[in-house]
Structure 1
Amino acid sequence: MTKLDATLTMLKDLTDAKAISGNEKEARDVMEGYIKDYADEVYTDNLGSLIAKKTGKQDGPKVMVAGHLDEVGFMVTRIDDKGFLYFQTIGGWWSQVMLAQRVTIVTDKGDVTGVIGSKPPHILSPEARKKPVDIKDMFIDIGASSKEEALEFGVKPGNSVVPYFEFTPLKNEKMLLAKAWDNRIGCAIAIEVLKQLKDVEHPNIVYGVGTIQEEVGLRGARTSAQLIQPDIGFGVDVGIAGDTPGITEQEADSKLGDGPQLILYDASMISHKGVRDLVVQTAEEHQIPFQYSTVPGGGTDSGSIHLTANGVPSLSITIATRYIHSHAAILHRDDFENAVKLIVETIKKLDRETVQQLILA
């Protein structure tokens, strides 16, 4: 791997961290290490979402920029007598991206390497080769000879199982390959937004948030938003890229490198027209590229944020990403940097009067 600059080092540290839903501590610690120097105060809610507060104007509106700490993975549920592990999926998985993939079991005694077992094709009938394996029939091989040996390794029910993949810039160095872009890129956006606001006057209070348990129901966004009580919300996440073979423009038409996505609609929220219009106006003023997108089959943290208290005008701003909810995904560095610029420039406009006008839009 070529020498990484400061931004790529941050992205590597965030994506290499092991943190499935319900066990986000490792990613939270990494995010806190990067964001604390740009915040006036850093704390957590009672479930573990990280909140970094940056005050511009003490009596200004509260703006929440939330990415989620958790990634999809698995949880050990049972160890059989031969030492093989059975598991529950955490977050949404498609069975065809799972077999023969390396995983890491996180235990109190340290990490244990394993692989999701698969049958060699030599012993499969032609009919069996055509059928996907049910997730319920999969297992993890950690090289243990018995249940007792697996327990000696430190493995037990409840352990997190994390996909294994190392952060890697591709030959085109703006194309970045890693696990857990969903959604460490949102955490990176929150960090960079506070960084770029560090010595800048802004008419509000900004909260950079790393939420927990997004992949299993937008849970951390609900609790952290209840604690913050924001006036405006931005959920920052990955979105669907449509620029690979087999995906039609009707299914997804976003392209890597064409700018951050503004989510018009998803299964958890219809974007707030006033916030969306202000963001579009800001993008056009600063010549920041962007794309519109919809995700009828999924949602982001904005889905919980916008329902807080008596309502929070919100918008999801996402990064088009290939191969999400698998062991490795690809996104474009320019989209990340343009998303940060767009949010920062929008935040500079969000004074009390503007926020009030947005609510009535």
Structure 2
Amino acid sequence: MDDFKPLLKRLSEAFGPSGFEDEVREIVIAEMEPYVDELFVDRWGNVYGVKHGKSDYRAMVAAHMDEIGLMVDHVEKNGFLRVKPIGGWNEVTLVGQRVVVRTRDGRKIPGVVGTRPPHITQPGKEREAPEMKDIFVDIGASSAEEVEKLGVGVGSVAVLDREFAELANGAVTGKAFDDRVGLAVMLWALRRLRELPVTLYAVATVQEEVGLRGAAVAAERVAPHYAVALDTTIAADVPGTSEREYVVRLGGGPAIKVMDGGRGGLFIAHPRLRDFVAEVARKEGIPHQMEVLYGGTTDAMAIAFRREGVPAVAISIPARYVHSPVEVLRVDDAVNAARLLVAVLENASPQFVESLMERRIK
């Protein structure tokens, strides 16, 4: 567990909004290279680590590199930056936060997120959450010309500025645990994998937060026979929610996805694969939870319905306050997710993979 936290810290603090995952990608390549037989990057920036198994059947594990961010779409004459969201933001979590803005030459400069002061806001409206159109980023510039000299302009991107920190009882907090913890789980598992029954494609994907884009491209390329996505899920075990609303609990172990999604469509994990993962967890004595989440989905959704269809499931790491500067998770939940992933990959025999394939009735 001690070697997991430094890896998660390094990944969490890296700069990598959707479409701009370069810094995270370099970490992934360096961490993955010693433990795979082949390593390559596709045209969109997905990273593939291939570890050959006894058979040519292909397993795909996916974890996304990107985090939610902001993109400058207008520079005010007095130097303030107007922004659009990259991914799903709740504006309440943005106001009053520090951000890091990347310049055209790759430098990072600090900024803060501001909005109209409540003291001069219409009475009755001062406590309402602002809309994104009312939010701006202040980098200290006093004119559009100064912004230009700093190397910032339309198309510049920003992410939250927040350091990784340890809390009590094995909990940690930071930004972008969604889904840098999934990456950490995948990389930590790669270090521990022994002989594999089928060939593994470990894929660090791009642009999950804006539509599961990278996973769709990767699944078309790999054409896996089964797939496991790694991502966070909602741990709503906080004051003000009922037990039914918790989804999962911190400290209860990794969650095995049963269903997720919402108005945009539901993902239902492949039943036989889901049951196999649960059985492996029981046999290995790994604490785990079953997850039904109505709202939000993972790369498993994009992978499952490529080509002829891919049996897919997700192993989720419980996290509180997802898509905020202060996401919280338990390191033992993440390490147990990695243990479960290792056990699944080492126990999914060619015979089991064949059982997932289409059946000829006549």
* TM superposition shift of 1:253: 3.5
SS in 2 for 1:60: strand
**1:97 maps onto 2:102 in alignment:** no
* TM superposition shift of 1:192: 1.5
Contact 1:67 1:190 in 2 (8 A): yes
Contact 1:60 1:351 in 2 (8 A): no
User: Of 284, 288, 291, which aligns to 2:289?
Assistant: 291
Aligned residues: 354
Identity %: 38
* Corresponding letter in the other structure for 1:61: Y
Contact 1:107 1:155 in 2 (8 A): yes
Corresponding residue number in structure 1 for 2:14: 17
User: Of 72, 76, 86, which aligns to 2:72?
Assistant: 76
Question: RMSD of the TM alignment (CA)?
Answer: 1.5
User: Of 232, 235, 254, which aligns to 1:260?
Assistant: 254
| Distance in 2 of aligned mates of 1:183 and 1:18 | 13
SS in 2 for 1:251: helix
* TM superposition shift of 1:360: 6.0
User: Of 347, 350, 354, which aligns to 1:349?
Assistant: 347
User: Of 259, 273, 276, which aligns to 1:275?
Assistant: 273
Corresponding residue number in structure 1 for 2:308: 310
SS in 1 for 2:190: helix
Give the TM-score normalised by the residue count of structure 2. 0.94
| Distance in 2 of aligned mates of 1:238 and 1:252 | 14
* TM superposition shift of 1:60: 3.3
Contact 1:187 1:209 in 2 (8 A): no
* Corresponding letter in the other structure for 2:31: Y
SS in 2 for 1:129: coil
Could you give the per-residue CA deviations for residues 238-267 of structure 1, whole angstroms, max 9, x where no partner exists? 000021112333333311111101111112
* Corresponding letter in the other structure for 1:29: E
* Corresponding letter in the other structure for 1:210: A
Corresponding residue number in structure 2 for 1:212: 206
Corresponding residue number in structure 2 for 1:111: 108
User: Any residues of structure 2 matched to 1:156-305 within 5 Å, and which?
Assistant: 156-172=153-169, 174-197=170-193, 200-267=194-261, 268-305=266-303
Corresponding residue number in structure 2 for 1:50: 47
Give the TM-score normalised by the residue count of structure 1. 0.95
SS in 2 for 1:337: helix
* Corresponding letter in the other structure for 1:113: P
User: Any residues of structure 2 matched to 1:26-65 within 5 Å, and which?
Assistant: 26-57=23-54, 59-65=55-61
* TM superposition shift of 1:99: 0.5
Contact 2:115 2:134 in 1 (8 A): no
Could you give the per-residue CA deviations for residues 335-361 of structure 1, whole angstroms, max 9, x where no partner exists? 111111111111112222111113469
| Distance in 1 of aligned mates of 2:275 and 2:291 | 15
Could you give the per-residue CA deviations for residues 54-106 of structure 1, whole angstroms, max 9, x where no partner exists? 1122x332111110000011111110100000111011111111111101101
| Distance in 1 of aligned mates of 2:26 and 2:87 | 22
Could you give the per-residue CA deviations for residues 116-155 of structure 1, whole angstroms, max 9, x where no partner exists? 1134443344402232211111111000010000010110
User: Of 328, 332, 337, which aligns to 1:339?
Assistant: 337
* Corresponding letter in the other structure for 2:269: S
Q: Which runs of 5+ in 2 are unaligned?
A: none
Contact 1:50 1:209 in 2 (8 A): yes
* Corresponding letter in the other structure for 1:166: E
SS in 1 for 2:124: helix
Which is worse superposed, 85-94 or 247-256? 247-256
Contact 1:274 1:359 in 2 (8 A): no
* Corresponding letter in the other structure for 2:80: F
Contact 2:116 2:134 in 1 (8 A): no
* Corresponding letter in the other structure for 2:289: Q
